[in-house]
């Protein structure tokens, strides 16, 4: 088996970025994923670990690359990869090991503050020459401080736990829900209370989602969940769009079941220009750029390179994502 790894990419920019992070770029074989499946398989012959940018690896290609033992992403999500079928071929899948966790946590705070203080409306009003316009009269009832609020974190993994850590000192009550128990002592250290999802939705002023997308989390927030939430509550989604039933979110905003939403992700990306969420001034949408930070990119790519080299040396990879 080769001691080299491969970067399967669609563009030269990814190659340049990876070359800047490795001292010996000759150890990495660059493979163009715009080529035919057969040509990609030929280029990957003898390769043990493949870094994929974007996070895709067709099953048809896996059938033709028996030497590959690891598909390594530079993102946190692996939902576009058929992990079950790849597992049948003996191929593991690893994500970025939390390389973007800090950036996504920080972006989450931006969404919270943006919704609570109507920053997008303020920006547009000033830009349009109206100064504060009608913001004060129309939106004062929804303008809030974060202090004194209950923040509910669904998914206390690498990103969720960093949000909880950064909330220390914000004078909030922090509750969370997760199917996995946190490390010993974390609840006490960060003053966390574990609740069921239903109780979290019922009591939280701010609900923020940080779960992977799989069969169990698809549309985990839909009409029933919006019925449970406080009418003054806001929803933040910086994980994956289909975790939220977008049609149900439209109904919840329209019927004032919740007060607003901050989204970095949508069910379809790029979202259509006629997305029915756009007309709502209490919905803030950013274009899936929560991890848009140089530090996050470097950490994620460095982890990908190091983890891929481990497999190329015959070692076991870290941050393996199990099949759904």
Q: Take residue 318 and report the two structure tokens written for it.
A: 């870290």
Phi, psi for residue 44 in degrees, rounded to 5: -95, 5
Residues 4, 251, 288, 298: which is the catalytic one?
Answer: 288
Q: Is 240 an active-site residue?
A: yes
Q: What angle do CA 291, 297, 298 make, to 5 degrees?
A: 150
Annotated catalytic residue within 107, 162, 210, 240: 240
Instruction: Confirm whether 288 is a catalytic residue.
Output: yes
Q: Which of 38, 269, 295, 316 is catalytic?
A: 269
Q: Where are the alpha helices (DSSP H) in the chain?
A: 12-21, 37-43, 59-63, 83-88, 101-117, 119-127, 135-139, 158-166, 186-190, 197-203, 223-228, 246-254, 294-312
Angle ∠(317,217,222) on CA atoms, nearest 5: 160
User: For the chain, percent helix, then strand, then coil, each to nearest 5?
Assistant: 40, 15, 45
- Retrieve residue 189's tokens: 């250290």
Q: Which residue in this structure is represented by tokens 């048809």? A: 60
Active site residues: 240, 269, 288
């Amino acid at each position: 088996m080769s001691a080299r790894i491969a970067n399967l990419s669609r563009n030269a920019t990814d190659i340049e970025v990876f070359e800047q992070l490795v001292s010996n770029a000759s150890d990495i074989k660059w493979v163009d994923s715009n080529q035919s499946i057969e040509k990609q398989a030929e280029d990957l012959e003898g390769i043990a670990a493949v870094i994929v940018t974007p996070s895709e690896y067709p099953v048809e290609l896996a059938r033709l690359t028996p030497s590959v033992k690891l598909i390594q992403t530079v993102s946190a999500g692996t939902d576009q990869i058929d992990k079950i079928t790849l597992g049948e071929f003996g191929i593991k899948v690893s994500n970025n090991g939390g390389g973007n966790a800090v950036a996504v946590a920080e972006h989450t705070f931006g969404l919270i503050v943006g919704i609570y203080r109507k920053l997008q409306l303020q920006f547009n009003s000033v830009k349009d020459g109206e100064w504060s316009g009608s913001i004060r009269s129309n939106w004062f009832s929804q303008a809030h401080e974060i202090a004194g609020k209950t923040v509910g974190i669904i998914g206390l993994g690498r990103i969720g736990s960093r949000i909880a850590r950064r909330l220390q000192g914000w004078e909030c009550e922090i509750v969370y829900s997760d199917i996995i128990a946190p490390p010993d002592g974390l609840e006490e250290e960060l003053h966390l209370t574990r609740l069921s999802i239903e109780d979290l939705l019922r009591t939280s002023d701010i609900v923020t989602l940080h779960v992977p997308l799989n069969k169990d989390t698809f549309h985990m927030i839909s009409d029933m969940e919006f019925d449970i939430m406080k009418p003054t509550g806001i929803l933040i989604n910086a994980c994956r769009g289909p975790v939220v039933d977008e049609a149900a979110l439209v109904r919840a905003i329209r019927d004032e079941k919740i007060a607003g939403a901050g989204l970095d992700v949508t069910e379809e990306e790029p979202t259509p220009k006629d997305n029915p969420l756009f007309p709502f001034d209490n919905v803030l949408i950013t274009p899936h750029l929560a991890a848009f930070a140089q530090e996050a990119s470097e950490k994620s790519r460095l982890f990908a390179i190091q983890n891929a080299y481990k497999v190329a040396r015959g070692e076991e990879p870290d941050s393996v994502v199990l099949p759904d």
